[in-house]
Amino acid sequence: MLVSAVTLGCALLLGQVEEPEASAEAPVEQAPEPPAEPEPWDFQMAVPTAASPRFPYDGVQIRCLALPPTPAVPSGQWRARCDDAKKECLVSPAQVLDSQGHETDQPLPRADWCVSRVMTPETTRQYRLVPAIAEAPPGWYRDERGRVLQYNFDLHRRVYVGGAWAPRWLRETDRLDERARVDFGVELEWPEKPDRLHRMTLLDTELYLGDAPSYDATLLRYDFRSQNNAPLFRVTTFYGRPRRFDVYANLGFWMEVLHGEQVRREDVHADFLNVAATHVTLDLWHSEDLVSYVRVRAGPSLERDRTNGFYTLVPAAVLEGDFTLDRDGFHHVRFGAEAQKVLLAESVEGRPLRPERLRLRAGYEFILLAINDQPVSVTLDGRGTWRDDVANAPAGWEWSAQAGLRFSLWAPARRSAPVSAPGKG
């Protein structure tokens, strides 16, 4: 009984204690809200047109963009050149477009690689996107479909092969030879400094077929020219106020190794092999880049008369010019006049002891079109030769008018080519 009474008393006492107010002071924890999903971007980037701006070719990093797919560019792959200060990007498709303006699987040729994972969609939305035509290297042009074409050619750096109709008229006998010419060779040119230029020609060969077949071939020809900034001498005049005139000596060097020639006159022929020739050159005028010039050169050569079996010494003097007439290298004019005297020759019946030669030549070459960016040019050439070094053949003039086509297998853009000009100037 006593235990039951104590238990009942404790229960009544605990029932009278007031419970604290719930959540009066304790904070209530709230469940975190799920992150808001970005609104879908329905931006539709337009492809460039012929009037669209162009990427500058200045070495600035190109960025890769992933944009919402469009009917023209379903892959959503684009390239961008961005101005972060202006918040503006020039944008072009990353693939070449077909004739209908839809992307193909062909990447843009001759374009810089873009850098991946640089601009996220969130960052891209902060920029103004302008449809544009991708960059092109100097001497090349890119159209609105992303295709490139070369419009600037250096015909002093090429591998060429060609052919021409080349009839010859012998004045003394009033005879016309119907001939065709096949020619090929390699031309190289490189600057050492802004005031020095080297040229080399390898396997310069002309084969004449038809009446009086013959050949003219050179294994190696080398040419070095320079611009001398110090005058050779100064001329001062004193009529009126004193005036000074500087005269420069822009000297150079020319050489030729193994030049073979076969000559046919009537029923006789002669074969000559010029073993080596060295000339000193003096530019009367040249362009700022040394590519075009008018000059004189003179020097000796060692020649083998293969028909008669002896060596001779042949000094020569030449006046010649080479002009590139336009910025893009489409038009070229060349001319030359050369006089030679054959010395130390043995006596040969039917020709003088010291024969002479005179050669005249003028030519014009212009690019007609290009196949796979390799130029096809038209060559027009007029030549005249007087010589009396062929035994038992009448001395006199022979004239030749030649017209043909020449295909250059490799002709890069000129070193002075402009950057991404809008078409050929």
> How do residues 28-51 score in pLDDT, each as one tens digit?
556 566 555 555 667 889 999 999
Region for 2 from its dihedrals, namely left if φ exceeds 0, alpha if ψ lies in -120 to 50, beta otherwise: alpha
Task: Report whether 420 contacts 136 (CB < 8 A).
Answer: yes
- CATH architecture, domain defined by 158-410: Beta Barrel (2.40)
Q: Which two tokens stand for residue 53?
A: 């701006």
Contacts 24+ apart (CB under 8 A), 94-97: 94/64, 95/146, 96/145, 96/146, 96/147, 97/47, 97/72, 97/144, 97/145, 97/146
What are the structural domain ranges in the chain?
62-144, 158-410
Going residue by residue through the chain (425 aa), what tens digit of pLDDT does each one get?
444 554 545 555 445 544 444 444 555 556 566 555 555 667 889 999 999 999 999 888 899 998 999 999 999 999 999 999 999 999 999 999 999 999 999 999 999 899 876 677 788 889 999 999 999 999 999 999 999 999 999 999 999 999 999 999 988 778 889 999 999 999 999 999 889 999 999 999 999 999 889 999 999 999 999 998 888 888 999 988 999 988 888 999 999 999 999 999 878 889 999 999 999 999 999 999 999 999 999 999 999 999 999 999 999 999 999 999 999 999 999 999 999 999 999 999 999 999 999 999 999 999 999 999 999 999 999 999 999 999 988 888 999 999 999 999 989 999 999 876 554 44
Q: Which two tokens stand for residue 12?
A: 């009544």
pLDDT at 19: 47
Backbone phi and psi for residue 301, each to the nearest 5 degrees, phi listed first:
-145, 150
pLDDT at 160: 98
Q: Which two tokens stand for residue 1?
A: 């009984």
Rounded distance, CA 78 to CA 95, Å?
8
pLDDT at 414: 96
Rg of the chain's alpha carbons, rounded to an integer?
Answer: 40
In sequence order, what DSSP letters do the residues of 271-337 get, joined into one string? EEEEEEEEEEEEEEEE-TTSSSEEEEEEE-EEEEETTTTEEEE--EEEEEEEEE-STTS-EEEEEEE
